[in-house]
Structure 1
Amino acid sequence: MARKFRGSEDVKVDGKGRMSIPARFRRIFEAGDPDWKPSERTRMIVVYGPKDWQKLEFYTVEAADRIDEEIDQLPRGSKQRLWLETLMNGMATEAEIDTDGRLVLPQKLRDKIGLEDAAFFTSKGDFVEVWNPDAYSEASESLQDYMSQFPPDFDPRSFLSAASAAEPHEG
């Protein structure tokens, strides 16, 4: 099983679109690039999505390959497959982290999400979301609204019990 991304971090973006990828995230991108060697650049996949997306998604090569395998299981020509192929392949690009741990984000992608001098990285398990920090604050309000319906001492891990109860257990 592949390692998961964990944590959130603010990073600086310079005028040329260079940003340092936090070391803990770089290690996962390196591990998820089957062709990576310590003296070489690390490949990753950037999904920029449809025009209304205010974020980018950074995937390891292996995570993107696993998603492609799942897409390939859908019926050819189905709307679901076409949508996912468009999102994960047509609205995506390959990028590289240089040996100094930096990524140069093209101007087109910085403009799309309004990145200027800072970016906010937040982990989502098998990928990292990258946001303009102000846009992230606004977007996270809907999750905050959802969370506020539960009492302060509610443990969201209890949602997991329902998922594992549905799976047969071997004894």
Structure 2
Amino acid sequence: MSRKLIYQIYFLLCMTIFATFLGYVLIAFVHIPISKGNMIKNLIGFNPGWNFFFTHNLLFAIILSVLPFINLLLIFTQLVSFGFNIYFIHKLSLGLQVTLFFRHAIFETAAMFCSVVISLIFYDMCQEFLEDKKINKNKRIKSLIFWYGVMVTLILLAALMEGSAHA
């Protein structure tokens, strides 16, 4: 693993912690009164099923994977919304919190990280092309196929868990 990728992963982990905490603090600052029964009703609501979550999350991840640097802003806003969700479920039992949010959010976050890695691979390929460097295309294509496969698998797992969370 290259140093650049390791630094990117560290940056993403720090951004995840900061953005999620920021979302939690911002919504707590507004101080929205929530009751346990009302909260569960609002969280459960209508469940469109795993296919809906899979297609929407996959589309979001593909957009992230082709937008280097801009994707960090999109990921930041997504992580802030995770903080909002954590605030709304913090009074529930740990079992309900895991079922409603945490078990699929972990996979969604990992898929977002994979999309950033893919965007860096695309960015490096473009830079090498513009600098007329000799590129090992087979190695890059295999790397892209691997990372896209990991990303789609993570999104599928998250969608299956999110689609069954409210059942």
- Fold-level match, TM-score > 0.5? no
TM-score (structure 1 length as normaliser): 0.27
Name the one with the larger helix percent.
2
TM-score (structure 2 length as normaliser): 0.28
